[in-house]
Amino acid sequence: MAKRGEHFKAEFKFKVVLELLKEESSLAEIASKYNVTSKSITTWKNEFIENGVSVFNKSKELKNHKNELNEKEDYIEKLHGKVGQLTLEVDWLKKKCPERNALGVPTRWIYYYKNIIQEYDDKLIDEIIKIQEELPPMYGNRRVTVEVQNRGFNVGRKIVKKLRDMLGFKAIYTMPKTTQRNYEHKVYLLNSSY
């Protein structure tokens, strides 16, 4: 018998199925002759019978197949053209500004903020600027977010924070004075030189 998982070539399968269809010998004889299981021969026969119709319908299937191939080739040509155009643009940009753009900002910032700006339209950015001018400067991201939402924009705090960081807005407030010592407190040290 054939080994488990053994694959046979299409010519071999065709030869075995033809011999079975001639009905000169039984299924068991053919299986022992070619050292293949009878179940495999039966499945090959069923596949052969199911796909036998395609032999006579060559013209329609061939036309469909050729049309699909032509469409795929056209699409691939368009993609190659686009890739070529993009590589030319990238090469030109690399020559013009190898590490930084004309403004002196690292290029990774441009791509990062470009993606943020593309996601949110100019109306939202203009609204954040208006809110920043109207509200007191100590308002942070959370209060600005609430104000933006009250004005009809459906955005979250993280988006407002990204846009405010990009625009350079920060809340102004007094910072805690943690580094100044209170002389009334006793200093606890292992060495009591104080």
Confidence of residue 147 (pLDDT cuts 50, 70, 90): very high
The mean pLDDT value for 48-72 works out to 78
Where a domain ends, among 42, 71, 96? 96
Q: Do 50 and 62 fall within a single domain?
A: no
Measured distance CA(92)–CA(101) in Å, rounded:
12
Q: What is the mean pLDDT of the chain?
A: 78
- Please check whether residue 102 lies inside any domain of the structure: no
**Residue 110: predicted pLDDT:** 59
Q: Do 62 and 114 fall within a single domain?
A: no
- Please check whether residue 172 lies inside any domain of the structure: no
**Reported pTM:** 0.33
Domain that holds residue 89: 57-96
Q: Do 17 and 68 fall within a single domain?
A: no
Flag whether pLDDT at 23 surpasses 60.
yes
Contact 142, 125 (CB under 8 A): no
In this predicted model, what pLDDT tens digit does every residue of 77-109 receive, in sequence order?
888 888 888 888 777 766 666 555 555 556 666
Flag whether pLDDT at 117 surpasses 80.
no
Confidence of residue 193 (pLDDT cuts 50, 70, 90): low
The mean pLDDT value for 164-173 works out to 82
Confidence of residue 24 (pLDDT cuts 50, 70, 90): confident
- Please check whether residue 41 lies inside any domain of the structure: yes
Measured distance CA(160)–CA(157) in Å, rounded:
5
Q: What domain count does the chain have?
A: 3
- Please, which residues bridge with residue 106 across strands? 100
- Please check whether residue 81 lies inside any domain of the structure: yes
**Residue 81: predicted pLDDT:** 86
List of residues 6+ apart from 120 with CB closer than 8 A: 155, 159, 163
Q: Indicate the SS3 state at residue 77.
A: helix
- Please check whether residue 188 lies inside any domain of the structure: no
- Please check whether residue 91 lies inside any domain of the structure: yes
- Please check whether residue 23 lies inside any domain of the structure: yes
Q: Do 162 and 115 fall within a single domain?
A: yes
Flag whether pLDDT at 192 surpasses 60.
no
Instruction: Name the one residue in this structure whose structure tokens are 């299937």.
Output: 61
- Please check whether residue 101 lies inside any domain of the structure: no
The mean pLDDT value for 165-194 works out to 72
Instruction: Name the one residue in this structure whose structure tokens are 């046979």.
Output: 8
Of residues 165 and 93, which shows the higher confidence score?
165
Flag whether pLDDT at 144 surpasses 60.
yes
